[in-house]
Amino acid sequence: MRMSCGLTYRSMKSRWITKLSRPCSHGPMGLFVPPSPPLDPKKVKELQRFITLSKKLLVMTGAGISTESGIPDYRSEKVGLYARTDRRPIQHVDFVRSAPIRQRYWARNFVGWPQFSAHQPNPAHWALSNWEKRGKLHWLVTQNVDALHTKAGNQRLTELHGCMHRVLCLNCGEQTPRGLLQERFQDLNPSWSAEAQGVAPDGDVFLSEEQVQTFQVPSCVRCGGPLKPDVVFFGDTVNPDKVDFVHRRVREADSLLVVGSSLQVPDSVKVVNCPLLPLIWTSFSWISLCFRSGQVYSGYRFILTAREKKLPIAILNIGPTRSDDLACLKLNSRCGELLPLIVPH
Protein backbone atom coordinates (compact mmCIF):
# COMPACT_ATOMS: atom_id res chain seq x y z
CA MET A 1 0.00 0.00 0.00
CA ARG A 2 1.42 3.37 -1.00
CA MET A 3 0.47 6.22 1.29
CA SER A 4 2.81 8.98 0.21
CA CYS A 5 2.38 11.73 -2.32
CA GLY A 6 4.04 11.87 -5.70
CA LEU A 7 6.47 14.59 -6.74
CA THR A 8 7.05 16.02 -10.19
CA TYR A 9 10.18 18.02 -10.93
CA ARG A 10 10.43 19.98 -14.17
CA SER A 11 12.55 22.78 -15.53
CA MET A 12 10.76 25.80 -16.98
CA LYS A 13 13.03 28.49 -18.46
CA SER A 14 15.82 27.81 -15.99
CA ARG A 15 13.37 27.80 -13.08
CA TRP A 16 12.63 24.54 -11.31
CA ILE A 17 9.19 23.77 -9.94
CA THR A 18 7.89 21.00 -7.73
CA LYS A 19 4.31 19.86 -7.67
CA LEU A 20 2.27 16.96 -6.35
CA SER A 21 1.42 14.42 -9.00
CA ARG A 22 -1.69 13.56 -7.01
CA PRO A 23 -3.18 15.07 -3.87
CA CYS A 24 -2.59 13.69 -0.40
CA SER A 25 -5.72 12.29 1.14
CA HIS A 26 -4.60 12.90 4.72
CA GLY A 27 -2.58 15.45 6.64
CA PRO A 28 1.12 14.73 7.10
CA MET A 29 0.80 13.70 10.74
CA GLY A 30 -1.77 10.99 10.04
CA LEU A 31 0.23 9.45 7.21
CA PHE A 32 3.21 8.18 9.14
CA VAL A 33 2.23 7.99 12.83
CA PRO A 34 1.18 4.52 14.02
CA PRO A 35 -2.06 4.19 16.02
CA SER A 36 -1.81 4.93 19.73
CA PRO A 37 -4.20 4.81 22.69
CA PRO A 38 -5.72 8.00 24.13
CA LEU A 39 -3.59 9.93 26.59
CA ASP A 40 -3.72 8.44 30.08
CA PRO A 41 -3.94 11.29 32.64
CA LYS A 42 -2.18 9.11 35.19
CA LYS A 43 0.75 8.55 32.84
CA VAL A 44 0.91 12.27 32.05
CA LYS A 45 1.22 13.01 35.77
CA GLU A 46 3.92 10.36 36.12
CA LEU A 47 5.94 11.92 33.29
CA GLN A 48 5.44 15.37 34.82
CA ARG A 49 6.83 14.10 38.11
CA PHE A 50 9.75 12.45 36.31
CA ILE A 51 10.64 15.73 34.55
CA THR A 52 10.13 17.83 37.68
CA LEU A 53 12.53 15.65 39.67
CA SER A 54 15.13 15.77 36.90
CA LYS A 55 17.77 18.45 37.29
CA LYS A 56 20.16 17.35 34.52
CA LEU A 57 17.91 15.63 32.01
CA LEU A 58 19.32 14.00 28.89
CA VAL A 59 16.85 13.38 26.06
CA MET A 60 17.46 11.01 23.17
CA THR A 61 15.15 11.26 20.17
CA GLY A 62 14.53 8.99 17.20
CA ALA A 63 12.46 8.95 14.04
CA GLY A 64 9.20 8.74 15.99
CA ILE A 65 9.43 12.40 16.99
CA SER A 66 9.53 13.53 13.36
CA THR A 67 6.70 11.43 11.94
CA GLU A 68 4.28 14.08 13.18
CA SER A 69 6.13 16.56 10.96
CA GLY A 70 5.35 14.40 7.94
CA ILE A 71 8.66 12.52 7.74
CA PRO A 72 8.20 8.74 7.64
CA ASP A 73 10.31 6.40 9.72
CA TYR A 74 11.58 3.01 8.62
CA ARG A 75 10.13 0.54 11.11
CA SER A 76 6.68 1.64 12.31
CA GLU A 77 4.07 -1.06 11.76
CA LYS A 78 1.91 -0.45 8.65
CA VAL A 79 3.12 3.14 8.13
CA GLY A 80 6.93 2.90 8.17
CA LEU A 81 8.93 2.78 4.96
CA TYR A 82 9.72 -0.93 5.39
CA ALA A 83 6.01 -1.73 5.73
CA ARG A 84 4.94 0.32 2.69
CA THR A 85 7.65 -0.56 0.21
CA ASP A 86 10.42 -3.04 -0.49
CA ARG A 87 12.92 -0.20 -0.88
CA ARG A 88 15.87 -0.09 1.51
CA PRO A 89 18.23 2.79 2.35
CA ILE A 90 21.45 3.18 0.41
CA GLN A 91 24.51 1.42 1.81
CA HIS A 92 27.63 3.45 2.52
CA VAL A 93 30.02 1.09 0.78
CA ASP A 94 27.93 1.15 -2.41
CA PHE A 95 27.81 4.94 -2.44
CA VAL A 96 31.57 5.28 -1.99
CA ARG A 97 32.49 2.68 -4.60
CA SER A 98 30.09 3.44 -7.44
CA ALA A 99 29.68 6.63 -9.46
CA PRO A 100 26.40 5.36 -11.01
CA ILE A 101 25.00 4.72 -7.55
CA ARG A 102 25.99 8.23 -6.48
CA GLN A 103 24.33 9.59 -9.62
CA ARG A 104 21.11 7.72 -8.84
CA TYR A 105 21.18 8.80 -5.22
CA TRP A 106 21.72 12.48 -5.99
CA ALA A 107 19.06 12.54 -8.72
CA ARG A 108 16.52 11.13 -6.28
CA ASN A 109 17.69 13.40 -3.48
CA PHE A 110 17.52 16.42 -5.80
CA VAL A 111 13.84 15.74 -6.48
CA GLY A 112 13.02 15.07 -2.83
CA TRP A 113 15.02 17.93 -1.33
CA PRO A 114 12.46 20.78 -1.66
CA GLN A 115 9.84 18.77 0.22
CA PHE A 116 12.26 17.28 2.75
CA SER A 117 13.94 20.59 3.57
CA ALA A 118 10.57 22.30 3.97
CA HIS A 119 9.49 20.10 6.89
CA GLN A 120 9.01 22.06 10.08
CA PRO A 121 9.26 21.22 13.79
CA ASN A 122 6.10 19.88 15.41
CA PRO A 123 4.93 20.54 19.00
CA ALA A 124 7.29 17.89 20.37
CA HIS A 125 10.34 19.66 18.93
CA TRP A 126 9.14 23.00 20.22
CA ALA A 127 8.54 21.52 23.68
CA LEU A 128 12.12 20.24 23.90
CA SER A 129 13.43 23.60 22.72
CA ASN A 130 11.42 25.27 25.47
CA TRP A 131 12.83 22.84 28.03
CA GLU A 132 16.35 23.88 27.01
CA LYS A 133 15.51 27.57 27.30
CA ARG A 134 14.04 26.94 30.75
CA GLY A 135 17.22 25.18 31.91
CA LYS A 136 15.61 21.75 32.19
CA LEU A 137 17.47 20.06 29.33
CA HIS A 138 21.09 19.12 30.06
CA TRP A 139 21.69 17.65 26.61
CA LEU A 140 19.74 16.46 23.57
CA VAL A 141 20.94 13.57 21.41
CA THR A 142 19.08 12.86 18.19
CA GLN A 143 19.42 9.93 15.82
CA ASN A 144 17.56 11.95 13.15
CA VAL A 145 19.15 13.78 10.21
CA ASP A 146 16.29 16.18 9.46
CA ALA A 147 17.57 19.28 11.36
CA LEU A 148 14.17 19.79 13.00
CA HIS A 149 15.70 20.22 16.47
CA THR A 150 17.99 22.90 15.07
CA LYS A 151 15.05 24.60 13.37
CA ALA A 152 13.25 24.58 16.73
CA GLY A 153 16.22 26.35 18.34
CA ASN A 154 17.99 23.61 20.31
CA GLN A 155 21.71 24.30 20.80
CA ARG A 156 22.72 21.74 23.42
CA LEU A 157 22.44 19.14 20.71
CA THR A 158 24.37 16.23 19.23
CA GLU A 159 23.24 14.95 15.83
CA LEU A 160 24.50 11.40 16.23
CA HIS A 161 24.06 10.45 12.58
CA GLY A 162 24.79 13.85 11.03
CA CYS A 163 22.49 16.18 9.13
CA MET A 164 21.07 16.16 5.60
CA HIS A 165 21.40 19.95 5.44
CA ARG A 166 25.17 19.63 5.06
CA VAL A 167 27.26 18.11 2.24
CA LEU A 168 30.71 16.57 2.67
CA CYS A 169 33.48 15.96 0.14
CA LEU A 170 34.74 12.39 0.43
CA ASN A 171 38.25 13.46 -0.60
CA CYS A 172 39.09 16.69 1.20
CA GLY A 173 36.35 16.83 3.83
CA GLU A 174 35.05 20.25 2.75
CA GLN A 175 31.57 20.95 4.15
CA THR A 176 28.99 23.03 2.28
CA PRO A 177 25.30 23.78 2.83
CA ARG A 178 22.94 21.43 1.02
CA GLY A 179 20.99 24.40 -0.36
CA LEU A 180 24.02 25.54 -2.36
CA LEU A 181 24.34 22.09 -3.90
CA GLN A 182 20.71 22.27 -4.99
CA GLU A 183 21.53 25.41 -6.97
CA ARG A 184 24.48 23.66 -8.64
CA PHE A 185 22.22 20.74 -9.56
CA GLN A 186 19.79 23.15 -11.20
CA ASP A 187 22.55 24.84 -13.19
CA LEU A 188 23.90 21.50 -14.46
CA ASN A 189 20.47 20.06 -15.31
CA PRO A 190 18.44 22.88 -16.91
CA SER A 191 16.18 20.61 -18.97
CA TRP A 192 16.04 17.49 -16.79
CA SER A 193 12.68 16.38 -15.35
CA ALA A 194 11.45 13.46 -13.30
CA GLU A 195 8.40 12.21 -11.49
CA ALA A 196 8.73 10.31 -8.23
CA GLN A 197 6.58 8.57 -5.65
CA GLY A 198 7.32 8.73 -1.94
CA VAL A 199 9.90 10.51 0.19
CA ALA A 200 12.07 8.51 2.59
CA PRO A 201 13.28 9.62 6.06
CA ASP A 202 16.56 10.85 4.55
CA GLY A 203 14.93 12.83 1.71
CA ASP A 204 15.40 10.07 -0.85
CA VAL A 205 12.66 9.44 -3.43
CA PHE A 206 12.04 6.64 -5.88
CA LEU A 207 12.99 7.13 -9.55
CA SER A 208 13.46 4.73 -12.46
CA GLU A 209 16.89 4.01 -13.89
CA GLU A 210 15.88 5.70 -17.14
CA GLN A 211 15.11 8.91 -15.31
CA VAL A 212 18.51 9.21 -13.66
CA GLN A 213 20.78 8.33 -16.61
CA THR A 214 21.05 11.90 -17.89
CA PHE A 215 21.29 13.57 -14.47
CA GLN A 216 24.56 15.48 -13.99
CA VAL A 217 26.24 15.46 -10.58
CA PRO A 218 28.70 18.23 -9.62
CA SER A 219 31.97 17.56 -7.83
CA CYS A 220 33.61 19.34 -4.92
CA VAL A 221 34.47 22.92 -5.91
CA ARG A 222 37.64 22.71 -3.84
CA CYS A 223 39.26 19.46 -5.01
CA GLY A 224 36.92 17.85 -7.57
CA GLY A 225 36.13 14.94 -5.28
CA PRO A 226 32.76 13.15 -4.94
CA LEU A 227 30.13 14.65 -2.68
CA LYS A 228 28.09 12.91 0.00
CA PRO A 229 25.46 14.11 2.48
CA ASP A 230 27.07 14.70 5.87
CA VAL A 231 25.18 11.79 7.40
CA VAL A 232 25.99 8.25 8.45
CA PHE A 233 24.66 5.97 5.74
CA PHE A 234 23.55 2.45 6.57
CA GLY A 235 26.61 0.30 7.09
CA ASP A 236 28.80 3.32 7.88
CA THR A 237 30.40 4.11 11.22
CA VAL A 238 29.65 6.91 13.65
CA ASN A 239 32.69 8.89 14.75
CA PRO A 240 33.93 7.27 18.00
CA ASP A 241 34.75 10.71 19.42
CA LYS A 242 31.11 11.69 19.01
CA VAL A 243 29.99 8.50 20.74
CA ASP A 244 32.40 9.13 23.63
CA PHE A 245 31.08 12.68 23.90
CA VAL A 246 27.52 11.40 24.24
CA HIS A 247 28.54 8.83 26.84
CA ARG A 248 30.10 11.64 28.88
CA ARG A 249 26.88 13.65 28.67
CA VAL A 250 24.94 10.59 29.86
CA ARG A 251 27.27 10.17 32.83
CA GLU A 252 26.76 13.85 33.73
CA ALA A 253 22.97 13.50 33.65
CA ASP A 254 20.68 12.52 36.49
CA SER A 255 17.91 11.07 34.29
CA LEU A 256 17.28 9.99 30.70
CA LEU A 257 14.19 10.33 28.53
CA VAL A 258 13.85 8.46 25.24
CA VAL A 259 11.45 10.05 22.73
CA GLY A 260 10.31 8.30 19.56
CA SER A 261 12.87 5.50 19.33
CA SER A 262 12.53 1.73 19.50
CA LEU A 263 16.24 1.49 20.41
CA GLN A 264 16.63 -1.49 18.13
CA VAL A 265 20.09 -2.55 17.06
CA PRO A 266 20.06 -1.18 13.52
CA ASP A 267 20.38 -3.26 10.42
CA SER A 268 21.80 0.11 9.62
CA VAL A 269 24.27 2.37 11.34
CA LYS A 270 27.18 0.77 13.11
CA VAL A 271 29.55 2.55 15.47
CA VAL A 272 32.77 0.61 15.34
CA ASN A 273 36.03 0.98 17.21
CA CYS A 274 37.86 -1.73 15.35
CA PRO A 275 41.62 -1.52 14.63
CA LEU A 276 41.32 -3.89 11.68
CA LEU A 277 38.72 -1.74 9.93
CA PRO A 278 41.08 -0.28 7.26
CA LEU A 279 42.11 -3.81 6.28
CA ILE A 280 38.62 -5.19 5.88
CA TRP A 281 36.69 -2.10 4.80
CA THR A 282 36.09 -3.56 1.36
CA SER A 283 33.96 -6.40 2.73
CA PHE A 284 30.76 -6.53 4.73
CA SER A 285 32.51 -9.17 6.84
CA TRP A 286 33.73 -6.34 9.08
CA ILE A 287 30.18 -5.98 10.35
CA SER A 288 29.98 -9.52 11.70
CA LEU A 289 33.56 -9.34 12.98
CA CYS A 290 32.87 -6.25 15.04
CA PHE A 291 29.55 -7.69 16.24
CA ARG A 292 31.45 -10.67 17.63
CA SER A 293 34.01 -8.41 19.30
CA GLY A 294 31.24 -6.46 21.01
CA GLN A 295 32.16 -3.20 19.31
CA VAL A 296 28.82 -2.30 17.72
CA TYR A 297 26.93 0.64 19.25
CA SER A 298 23.37 1.83 18.97
CA GLY A 299 21.14 4.12 20.98
CA TYR A 300 20.64 1.14 23.26
CA ARG A 301 24.24 1.42 24.43
CA PHE A 302 23.55 4.85 25.89
CA ILE A 303 20.68 3.28 27.82
CA LEU A 304 23.11 0.70 29.21
CA THR A 305 25.42 3.50 30.32
CA ALA A 306 22.48 5.16 32.07
CA ARG A 307 21.58 1.89 33.77
CA GLU A 308 25.17 1.40 34.95
CA LYS A 309 24.96 4.84 36.53
CA LYS A 310 21.57 3.89 38.01
CA LEU A 311 19.79 6.76 36.29
CA PRO A 312 15.99 6.69 36.09
CA ILE A 313 14.88 6.07 32.50
CA ALA A 314 11.56 7.05 30.91
CA ILE A 315 10.50 6.06 27.39
CA LEU A 316 7.91 7.78 25.20
CA ASN A 317 7.36 5.69 22.08
CA ILE A 318 4.40 4.15 20.29
CA GLY A 319 5.03 0.42 20.48
CA PRO A 320 7.59 -1.68 22.34
CA THR A 321 11.26 -0.79 22.60
CA ARG A 322 14.36 -2.77 23.38
CA SER A 323 14.68 -1.06 26.78
CA ASP A 324 11.15 -1.29 28.16
CA ASP A 325 12.34 -3.57 30.96
CA LEU A 326 14.96 -0.99 32.00
CA ALA A 327 12.55 1.94 32.19
CA CYS A 328 10.76 3.12 35.30
CA LEU A 329 8.13 4.72 33.05
CA LYS A 330 6.87 3.74 29.57
CA LEU A 331 4.34 5.80 27.62
CA ASN A 332 2.65 4.75 24.35
CA SER A 333 1.59 8.18 23.10
CA ARG A 334 2.24 10.64 20.32
CA CYS A 335 5.22 12.78 21.17
CA GLY A 336 3.55 15.96 19.92
CA GLU A 337 0.47 15.38 22.05
CA LEU A 338 2.21 14.56 25.32
CA LEU A 339 5.41 16.63 25.57
CA PRO A 340 3.69 20.05 25.29
CA LEU A 341 1.63 19.12 28.36
CA ILE A 342 4.73 18.84 30.53
CA VAL A 343 5.76 21.97 32.44
CA PRO A 344 9.59 22.13 32.70
CA HIS A 345 10.04 23.35 36.26
Task: Note down pLDDT in tens along the chain; length 345 residues.
Answer: 333 345 555 554 444 544 433 333 334 455 778 889 999 999 999 999 999 999 999 999 999 999 999 888 655 454 444 444 555 568 899 999 999 999 999 998 999 899 899 999 999 999 999 999 999 999 999 999 999 999 999 999 999 999 999 999 999 999 999 999 999 999 999 988 876 655 555 556 677 788 889 999 999 999 999 999 999 988 888 999 999 999 999 999 999 999 999 987 554 444 444 333 333 223 333 332 333 223 334 789 999 999 999 999 999 999 999 999 999 999 999 999 999 999 998
Q: How many domains does the chain have?
A: 1
Q: State yes or no: 174 annotated in a binding site.
A: no
The answer as to whether 246 is a domain residue is: yes
Amino acid 278: pLDDT: 32
- The answer on whether 117 is annotated among ligand-binding residues is no
Per the domain annotation, does 184 fall within a domain?
Answer: yes
Is the residue at 229 inside a domain? yes
Question: 198 lies in a domain?
Answer: yes
pLDDT at 210: 82
172 carries a ligand binding annotation: yes
Under 8 Å between Cβ of 47 and 342: yes
- 275 domain-assigned: no
Asked, for residue 223, whether it belongs to a domain, the answer is yes
- 69 marked among binding-site residues: yes
Q: For position 323, what pLDDT does the model report?
A: 95
Q: Is residue 282 part of a domain?
A: no
Active site residue 161: yes
Query: Residue 209: inside a domain, yes or no?
Result: yes
- The alpha helices in 227-340, defined as continuous H runs, are 240-252, 277-280, 285-292, 299-308, 335-338
CA atoms within 13 A on the CB side of 65: 33
Rounded Cα–Cα distance for residues 179 and 184 (Å): 9
**pLDDT value at residue 96:** 96
Is 292 known to sit in a ligand binding site? no
The active-site residue, picked from 125, 138, 149, 161, is 161
* Alpha helix ranges (H) inside 119-153: 123-133, 148-152
319 annotated as a binding-site residue: yes
| CA dist 229 → 32, 57, 87, 255, 262 (Å) | 24, 31, 19, 33, 25
* Segments forming the whole domain that contains residue 323: 41-264+293-341
Give the CATH number of the domain where residue 334 resides. Answer: 3.40.50.1220
